[in-house]
Chains A and B, each alone.
Chain A
Amino acid sequence: MTAVTVGSEAHESDIVFDVEHVTLRFGGVTSLNDVSLRMYRGEILAIIGPNGAGKTSLFNSLTGVYTPQEGSIMLSGRAGDPPQSVLGKKTHVVNHLGVGRTFQNIRLFPALTALENVQVGIEARQRSGPISAMLGLPWQRREQRESTHFAYQLLGEVGLAPKANELAASLPYGEQRRLEIARALGTNPGVLLLDEPAAGTNPVEKRELAQLIQRVNTDRLVSVLLIEHDMKLVMSVAHRIVVLNFGEKIAEGAPAAIQRDPAVIAAYLGTSAEEAAAQAAAAPDVQLIEGTTEAPLEATPEDTRDDGEVNP
């Protein structure tokens, strides 16, 4: 495992995302309210929170899809990059700065094969233009060979190499999730943003996914920012956890600490913080979050639909 530097003494360039006082509003609705957080290079940071807490809005702000009205987001995507502001940059530019992402509801290119999906990610970084492609010039051919080779390598890493030539739409759900990760990795990111990668997958696939995330983190030295409802997965892979509720950050810390945090328990159970604290004090062994994962956290309509489709 790489050195995870956590703490105030960390060097500036070891901060991947430095989010400060970000506020994002849609008309009268405040989606993110004065959120500040830091993500350090090499760590797996999980963002959790009930539905509607603003997790995906935060992702979209980090990748340039939304521009927050207030605050600043500084990004140093790959190791050694000087920090740059994300605000006002186009999504593809943010991607070029080293941010790869996946989507909550899978957004593959269904009519392309698995291989081509990954190639799209890889080739966004290449230089050859339409004329060299039309004439089949040598450097264009070389780039194409490289992209095919790298795409096969990535597909092998996520265990999809035998299905390289199948259409993305024809893959089972769990494999589509992994293909999306491979496509994001194809853009050679320094940080990978995974939006609910385990939604709709079965327990076996979840275990594989956890291994995949850890492999990506250690072998490819990619920092991972993870939104996930499945607490087992989060607790098993995350180095740190940030909890959002109603657009505000309510807690931040190591997984063990978050599990016992009264504010977090209150947010998930819908009780007041004091009651939750009292409950926690009364029964210190009970790990509320882990116990509550199955029912209330995964009960979104989308998840159940996905489960119905996929589970054997």
Chain B
Amino acid sequence: MNRVMLRSPGFKRLVACLAGSLVLAVMIGPQEGTQADYGYAFRQAVFKPRVFVFLGIGVLMFLLVTYWPRVTPYFTRPGAVALCTGLTTVIAAQFLLRWDDQVGNAKFGAVSRAVSNTSGLSPATTAFFSWLHWVQFLVIAVLAAFAVAQRNRMLAWVTAAFAVVAGGIAFYAHNDVISFSHVADHSFGAFTTLLGYLVVAVGCSAAALSHEQATHARDSIDRVLAWRPGLPIAAVGAAATIIAMTTSAWFSPLRLNASFSSTHDLFAGYGLSPISSQYLAWLGWVLLAVVAITALSSTYLRLRLGGWIAAGLGVVAVLLTVVTLYDISKIGADNNVDAATGPWQNLGSGGWLACMGFGLMAAGGFIAATAARTSTGSASPSTPDTAFVPSESQGGLSLRTASRSSKNLLFVGVVLALFLPPTMTEFWQKVLVSEIGVYVLLAIGLNVVVGWAGLLDLGFIAFYAIGSYTTAYLVGSLPHKPPAWLHMTPLLAIPFAITICIIAGVALGAPTLRLRGDYLAIVTLGFGEIIRITAVNNPGNITNSTRGPSPAVAHPRVHIGPVHITWGLNNLQYWYLLLALIVIVVILFYRLEGSRLGRAWAAIREDEVAAQASGINTPRVKLLAFAIGASTSGLAGVFFASQIGYFNPDNFVLNNSILVVAYVVFGGMGSLPGAMAGAAVLTWLPEFLKDQVPADDRQMWIGALVLLMMIFRPAGLIPARRRKAELGGLGSPPSSETRAVPASEGL
């Protein structure tokens, strides 16, 4: 063994991979030890035969990294990316997700054990849960990989058909189990598996349909979406609606899973309103047929008018479905079915799935309608001279295709945000409101300061605190009561909280205008702590110290004319309130990003001296960033205070500020969807990991994920277009994948 060999990059890489596999072995090993023997866990993890499994993984990683350049060309094959995504989704669904709410830990393994001990299920179900699931996965994976790599058209079509059948089997087997146990179902495992197989099928059909080679892996996705704008989304919607109408449960109190057709019989004699009765009898089916046909045909044929009709009909169908769901759950509550106290209870996932499907079909129609308009003539408003438009597609940015895929994502996101939460369990609804939603709002606000204006703010949670305490004061929950004319409900407190946070933002910003980077971060950190410690120290008895506001901050109420809404303890209600706030803020900020202020922020972030020389009043622009970011945080504070009722200064510790910064960086600094996705993923992950890893290990796994993310994708989950070039800098061509570690080093 000579020195040259030791220094060769291949050897170093092998050592790194093996070391990484040992780390993985320790991470997955037993995390226990005693005072007398600290090395116990380490020995259990590393000095046992199991270590060879991990070393094998390390060698596999080494081979994968070494031969990666030979693998990557295959990713440009049409359908390859979709294929990989779909297969990964199936694996994840069968290993990580819940398949049932009843048995054991409810994951696939537990359900399949339960199924093997149960008689009375159909043979397909038993087969699926015992051996068919991995056989069909392997067969499809091998066939699809072969079809895409060899571009075998026939094989690709066959595999696509297989994948659809496999997804159907998985879904059928799950439904069989659920209807056997007669319990309302909140699990996503089977649904995700079906989705994964459908994505595989899409990948295979793309491979079969297209002979051109995409220049970049991402292009192939855009090409599928651009082939017939709106068609993919409408097709998914149609499939979802058909599933909802045929198999899913619409009304599922205890010991009952009434599907769409049996729901009508169930409520036959209970005075269902005419609309709902017609809907359940025949209108639902007609709507399904009409919306699906108009949406699919207008997207396929690129009919603009048809697109609008499909969009309108889809929205009408959603509304009718919601009305029907309200009616049947109301009757259920009136008859005290399963101790229901009000409408919207005991509903199965079928109705909401139908809403999602109709919504997606409407979105597909809308996309087709608007896409047809841009292709037929007048140029988009941002480019007055059409002669320049072609250069966009030639250039590195390809703004149009990017906006196309993001438009699809936007609609999917909105539809999921509207109709997925009702099918979730109580636990996830709570997480959605008090963790995910609130932090998404905070991340949107911090993105203005950190992402757009480039001012590192480590005291952001202070404005959240100010918003919360302002609300507490205005609803009369602090020791000092407001004058009677100022006593108000929480939602009315929003403008006041925003105003006070703007003032606080300017107060923080003004003295720190000359500071940059690390120095600014330290000052803002100090500001955050000042606010928290002031709340603890309780000068003049204004904050009620660590006990927090009492009595509890009132829940929001709205009484405008005939509209009376009172928010209580139902998390779902708060979710829709929060969703409305987020949507409003996102729309406003989206416009802001494209305005002169958005460009001015980008300018001072990129080069402050040049920005000044271009006439930008940098102090004003920075103060605006602080103020606008702070006001968003204050808005989140109002929501938080009125939702949670009781809070205290411990809710506003430095750790929370750092978390919000981490969310924004993880998602992609300066990217509005990125910041939201970052916050959503990193708040969802700890809760998700509760099912997957021992409680003590959770933070370690999250840390590992963040670490890997920052090494391999430093620009974030959804990188900002304006940020992409930053790590490349002037003079060097921008690369779509920025790296923190030069490619020659590291792996």
Neighbouring A residues of B397 by C-beta, 8 Å: 113, 165-167
* Contact in complex: A111, B606 (CB < 8 Å): yes
Least Cβ–Cβ distance between A46 and chain B, in angstroms: 20
Q: Does A246 contact B (CB under 8 A)?
A: no
* Contact in complex: B724, A111 (CB < 8 Å): yes
Neighbouring B residues of A95 by C-beta, 8 Å: 612-615
Least Cβ–Cβ distance between A191 and chain B, in angstroms: 13
Q: How far is the CA of A158 from the CA of B196 in the complex (A)?
A: 51
Least Cβ–Cβ distance between A18 and chain B, in angstroms: 21
* Contact in complex: B723, A111 (CB < 8 Å): yes
Selected interface stretch from A79-87, A118-126, A212-220, A254-262: A118-126
Selected interface stretch from A9-17, A27-35, A141-149, A202-210: A141-149
Closest to A118 in B: B614
Given A111-B726, A144-B596, A120 and B613 contact (CB-CB distance below 8 Å): no
Q: How far is the CA of A106 from the CA of B731 in the complex (A)?
A: 10
Closest to A122 in B: B596
* Contact in complex: B384, A116 (CB < 8 Å): no
Given A109-B607, A162-B391, A130 and B728 contact (CB-CB distance below 8 Å): no
Q: A96-B615, A111-B606, A166-B397 known; 9 other A-B pairs, CB under 8 Å?
A: A63-B613, A103-B609, A109-B603, A111-B726, A120-B602, A165-B395, A167-B396, A184-B613, A309-B731
Q: How far is the CA of A109 from the CA of B599 in the complex (A)?
A: 10
Given A112-B722, A120-B600, A170-B734, A134 and B588 contact (CB-CB distance below 8 Å): yes
Selected interface stretch from B158-166, B463-471, B527-535, B616-624: B616-624
Q: How far is the CA of A100 from the CA of B614 in the complex (A)?
A: 7
Neighbouring B residues of A169 by C-beta, 8 Å: 725, 728-734
A residues apposed to B, CB below 8 Å: 63, 65, 90-92, 95-96, 100-101, 103, 106-113, 116, 119-121, 123-126, 128-130, 133-136, 140, 143-145, 147-149, 152, 161-170, 173, 176, 183-184, 186-187, 309
Least Cβ–Cβ distance between A189 and chain B, in angstroms: 9
Neighbouring B residues of A135 by C-beta, 8 Å: 588, 591
Neighbouring A residues of B117 by C-beta, 8 Å: none
Neighbouring A residues of B606 by C-beta, 8 Å: 109-112
Least Cβ–Cβ distance between B627 and chain A, in angstroms: 9
Number of interface residues of B (CB under 8 A): 50
Q: How far is the CA of A31 from the CA of B291 in the complex (A)?
A: 76
B602: which of A103, A112, A133, A163 is its contact (CB, 8 Å)?
A112
* Contact in complex: A119, B599 (CB < 8 Å): yes
Can you list 25 residue pairs at the A/B interface with Cβ under 8 Å?
A95-B612, A107-B610, A108-B610, A109-B610, A110-B728, A111-B725, A111-B726, A120-B599, A120-B600, A120-B602, A120-B611, A123-B599, A124-B614, A133-B596, A144-B595, A163-B395, A165-B399, A167-B396, A167-B734, A168-B725, A169-B725, A170-B395, A170-B725, A184-B614, A187-B615
* Contact in complex: A92, B618 (CB < 8 Å): yes
Q: How far is the CA of A169 from the CA of B591 in the complex (A)?
A: 25
Neighbouring B residues of A176 by C-beta, 8 Å: 730
Least Cβ–Cβ distance between B30 and chain A, in angstroms: 47
* Contact in complex: B595, A133 (CB < 8 Å): yes
* Contact in complex: B388, A164 (CB < 8 Å): yes
Q: How far is the CA of A169 from the CA of B382 in the complex (A)?
A: 21
* Contact in complex: B388, A120 (CB < 8 Å): no
Within 8 A of A (CB), among B363-386: 381-385
Neighbouring B residues of A121 by C-beta, 8 Å: 614-615
Neighbouring A residues of B588 by C-beta, 8 Å: 134-135
Within 8 A of A (CB), among B558-598: 588-589, 591-592, 595-598
B388: which of A128, A162, A183 is its contact (CB, 8 Å)?
A162
When A and B form their complex, which 5 residue pairs have the shortest distance between CB atoms, in order from nearest? A124-B615, A133-B595, A123-B596, A107-B610, A95-B615
Closest to B731 in A: A309
Closest to B726 in A: A111
Least Cβ–Cβ distance between A202 and chain B, in angstroms: 16
Given A95-B615, A125-B615, A144-B596, A166 and B603 contact (CB-CB distance below 8 Å): no
Q: How far is the CA of A186 from the CA of B610 in the complex (A)?
A: 13
